[in-house]
Structures are given as structure tokens and as C-alpha cells.
């Protein structure tokens, strides 16, 4: 039984979806979602209709068909009778290889150039400024073509290494730089544990990763002990043993030996052949991206108060030690977020490899495979999915690292 003081009961009305602030935002979001789904559905139906009109269907069966083309630079076994899926895998691995090498070298170059740009030495700082401004203001494609031209035109032919008095010689007797690429020593196994050499190297990497993890745990234990007692235990010998002994024992067990390149006929044989296209792409991506990273590092260092350096100098620390232990650790929180974007840009810019004939994912799956099978929609979707997954993986790993180095308040 209601009284005169009770508010009159009111049910839900449709007008509340627009005029009531409790429901208005939800209504807008639902309408936007419906419109987005309708647009996506129209695009899918329109695509299927157009494919049907052209006599095509949507099928990934082409990945199991023989590719019919060769790939010059590859990390796994492949020939012209392998499938298009295998060719795509070779291209993906080639992309991962140049992206990993490029990010590593670009980081070293960028950090070095960024720190040296702030040097008190006028000549050093000006040289680094020339490097940064020169590389980042010229299109990347031009650097790739230029370095590739230098590799092919400015290096000797294999015939220059022949004869009793050759005009060219190998570096340290083990590395040959020619116009056909660079030949370096290779590690082979006389008694491999697995028939597939990929699994042998995977085992080596796993053992190395476990060793590094154990070393990090030892360093953490030493830091905890130092904070508790003020005395840091000596662990360098233990760290060295853990890093060296497991890998050395595994290599001895598998009978590892060095295969040095040597001149055989008209070309070099043995070792590992790094083609000029890979070297040119790697160097161009690293130098170009390193110039941007240098500015990021310089900005991160300048973001740290000069009082931090002055306090370190007052404690007797030298400039190099101050930069390593005081300034850079604090600057990382400013450096890492834009650094992630540069790693992503380098990875995606590797698709310019087609300009010098390096067979990456863009050249295989997004190039020759599409031209031979006519499956341009499926090929581009797979290629876009690969770059999306790779970019998200890089971003995720770097964000984890960013969280591990950020300042933690007590």
C-alpha cells in the first residue's frame, strides 16, 4: 500500500535510451557497433559477389601447391618443388632474420650516436649530427639501393682471391668479402643429436637461454644479499662457468667444428654465404633507424635533470660511469616507448627488400606466389596477418621490458 509521500512508480520507457544519461552512452555505443557490423558485412558480401563474378572463390588450398620458383637466401631446406606454404615460411624466416639483426644493430648505433651527440668534444658531436641528419632526411629506399650498389660494384670478384699473389685477401683468413656476398665461417656438427639441423640449433639456443636465466637469478640473489648485509658476494666465476660450460659441453658432445670458406672453382664454397642483398638491407635499415633512435636517446638523456649528474660527480663518479649507472637507467622510461615504434617501423620497412632481390615475406607470399596462383586476396590477407602478429609480438615484448625497468616507488 503506497502513501502520499512515496514517489509514484515509473517503468522503463524507450525515450530513456536517448534522454536518460544512464542509458545514452550505451545506446550510442550499440548503434555504432550495429553500423560497424553492417558495414563489415556489406564489404564481405560485396567481395564474395565480385569474386563469384570473376569465377573465383575464397580458398587457401594454393598453399599446398608446388611453388615452382627458387629462393636464393634461405634458413631452412627449400627447392622449386616445395609448396607455396613452404616458400612463405622461408620468406617469413628471412623477414624475421633481417628484422632481428636490424633492431640489434640499430639499437647499438642509436644509443652510441645519441650519447656522443651530447659529447663536449665538438668534432665528435658534429660528426654524429651529420650522421643523424644525413640518414633520417634521405628516403630509406635510396640508402638500400646505394649500399647494394657499393656491395656489388665496390668489392672484388671471387677471381681476385685466386693465384699466388692475389689482389685481394680474406679477413683473418676466414672472411671473404666479394661482389657476390660475404662468406663467413660456419659451425657444423659431426655427431648431431637430431637429423634436422634446425633442432640442433634450437637445442643450443634453449641451453643458452637457460644459462642466461640462471645467471640473472644469481645476480638477483647477489643484489638481495648486498642489500641485507652491505657486502656483495663474488659471483663472476660462477657466472662465467654457467655461461660457458653448458654450451661448451653441448658443442663438444655434438662434435662441433668450424667450416671455413675457401675458393672452389669460380666461387667460394663452405662456410655461410651472406648475399649482398641481405647485407645491404640490413645495413640500410640499421643506419636509417639508428639515426631516429639517436634522437630518441638524446631527448631521453636531456629529460633527466642535470642535478642527477652533478650529484654523481660530487660522489666521485666519472662521466662514463655516471651515464651508465645514473642517467641512462632513468632515461629508459622516456626512451623505450618511442623506441618500440622504431622497432615496428624497421620491421615493416623490411618489405622494401624486393628492391634488391632479397626474398622476404613480401617477395614470396606477397609477390611471386600471388602472381603465380592469382590468389591476391588470400595472399595479402595472410601477409597482413603476419605483419600484424609480428608487430603485436614486438610491442608486447618491449612493453614487458618497459614495465621491468620503470621506476618503482616504495
pLDDT of residue 7: 52
pLDDT (tens, 9 = 90+) of the chain, 410 residues, equals: 444 444 555 676 777 777 777 778 888 888 899 999 999 999 888 888 887 787 777 778 888 999 888 888 888 888 888 899 999 999 999 999 999 999 999 999 999 999 999 888 899 999 999 999 999 999 999 999 999 999 888 888 888 888 777 777 888 778 888 888 888 888 888 888 888 787 888 899 999 999 999 999 998 898 888 888 888 888 888 899 999 999 999 999 988 888 888 888 778 888 888 888 999 999 999 999 999 999 999 999 888 888 888 888 888 888 888 888 888 888 888 899 999 999 999 999 999 998 898 999 999 988 899 998 888 888 899 999 999 999 999 999 998 888 877 766 55
**Cell of residue 61, nine digits:** 588450398
Rounded CA separation 222/228 (Å): 10
Rounded CA separation 365/361 (Å): 6
Alpha helices in 54-159 (DSSP H): 84-116, 122-136, 140-153
Rounded CA separation 115/300 (Å): 10
Half-sphere exposure of 97 (CA within 13 A, CB side): 20
**Cell of residue 129, nine digits:** 649530427
Give the residue from 149, 103, 151 showing the smallest Cα distance to 286. Answer: 103
Rounded CA separation 268/178 (Å): 9
- Asked whether the beta carbons of 112 and 132 are under 8 A apart, the reply is no
Amino acid at each position: 500500500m503506497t502513501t502520499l509521500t512515496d514517489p509514484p512508480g515509473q517503468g522503463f520507457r524507450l525515450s530513456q535510451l536517448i534522454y536518460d544519461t544512464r542509458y545514452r552512452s550505451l545506446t550510442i555505443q550499440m548503434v555504432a557497433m550495429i553500423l560497424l557490423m553492417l558495414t563489415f558485412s556489406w564489404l564481405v558480401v560485396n567481395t564474395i559477389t565480385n569474386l563469384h563474378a570473376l569465377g573465383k572463390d575464397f580458398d587457401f588450398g594454393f598453399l599446398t601447391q608446388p611453388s615452382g620458383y627458387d629462393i636464393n637466401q634461405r634458413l631452412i631446406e627449400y627447392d622449386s618443388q616445395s609448396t607455396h606454404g613452404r616458400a612463405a615460411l622461408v620468406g617469413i624466416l628471412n623477414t624475421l632474420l633481417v628484422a632481428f639483426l636490424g633492431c640489434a644493430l640499430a639499437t647499438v648505433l642509436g644509443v652510441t650516436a645519441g650519447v656522443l651527440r651530447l659529447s663536449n668534444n665538438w668534432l665528435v658531436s658534429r660528426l654524429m649530427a651529420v650522421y643523424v641528419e644525413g640518414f633520417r632526411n634521405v628516403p630509406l629506399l635510396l640508402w638500400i639501393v646505394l649500399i647494394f650498389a657499393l656491395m656489388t660494384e665496390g668489392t672484388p670478384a671471387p677471381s681476385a682471391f685466386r693465384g699466388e699473389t692475389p689482389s685481394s685477401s680474406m679477413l683473418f683468413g676466414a672472411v671473404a668479402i666479394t661482389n657476390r656476398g660475404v662468406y663467413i665461417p660456419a659451425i657444423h656438427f659431426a655427431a648431431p643429436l637430431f637429423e634436422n639441423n634446425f633442432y640442433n640449433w634450437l637445442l643450443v639456443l634453449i641451453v643458452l637461454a637457460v644459462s642466461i636465466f640462471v645467471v640473472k637469478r644469481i645476480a638477483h640473489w647477489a643484489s638481495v644479499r648486498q642489500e641485507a648485509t652491505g657486502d656483495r658476494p663474488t659471483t663472476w666465476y660462477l657466472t662465467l662457468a654457467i655461461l660457458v660450460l653448458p654450451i661448451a659441453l653441448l658443442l663438444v658432445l655434438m662434435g662441433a667444428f668450424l667450416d671455413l670458406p675457401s675458393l672452389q672453382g669460380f666461387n667460394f664454397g663452405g662456410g655461410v654465404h651472406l648475399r649482398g642483398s641481405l647485407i645491404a638491407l640490413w645495413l640500410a635499415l640499421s643506419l636509417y633507424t639508428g639515426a631516429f633512435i639517436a634522437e630518441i636517446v638524446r631527448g631521453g638523456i636531456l629529460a633527466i635533470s642535470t642535478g642527477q649528474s652533478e650529484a654523481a660527480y660530487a660522489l666521485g663518479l666519472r662521466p662514463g660511469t655516471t651515464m651508465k649507472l645514473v642517467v641512462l637507467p632513468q632515461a629508459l622510461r622516456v626512451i623505450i616507448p618511442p623506441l618500440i615504434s622504431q622497432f615496428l617501423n624497421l620491421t615493416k620497412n623490411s618489405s622494401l627488400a624486393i628492391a634488391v632481390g632479397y626474398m622476404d615475406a613480401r617477395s614470396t607470399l606477397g609477390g611471386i606466389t600471388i602472381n603465380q596462383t592469382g590468389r591476391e586476396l588470400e595472399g595479402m590477407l595472410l601477409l597482413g596477418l603476419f605483419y600484424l602478429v609480428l608487430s603485436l609480438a614486438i610491442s608486447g615484448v618491449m612493453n614487458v621490458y618497459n614495465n621491468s625497468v620503470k621506476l618503482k616507488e616504495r
